[in-house]
Amino acid sequence: MLLTAAAVILGAFVILFDPIFQGLAISLMAWEVASTLLSRMAAPVLYYIAERRGIGEKKRVEEKT
């Protein structure tokens, strides 16, 4: 995921200096950074909430027996 984000950002950096595609490059870079940060923060938080609410509890009890 991070390698793909880096490739998109580097690819958008190339067209950043073209006046026609500059807006596209800025939006690509910004959204890729935002989506990477969101996915890196949202997934652990959702797992934590699921664990705290005991959603995975039934599965662990079945595995012990």
Rg of the chain's alpha carbons, rounded to an integer? 20
* pTM of the entire predicted model: 0.63
**What's the total number of domains in the chain?**
1
In terms of residue numbers, what domain contains 18? 2-64
Give, for all 65 residues of the chain, the pLDDT tens digit: 789 989 999 999 999 999 999 999 999 999 999 999 888 888 889 888 888 888 766 665 566 66
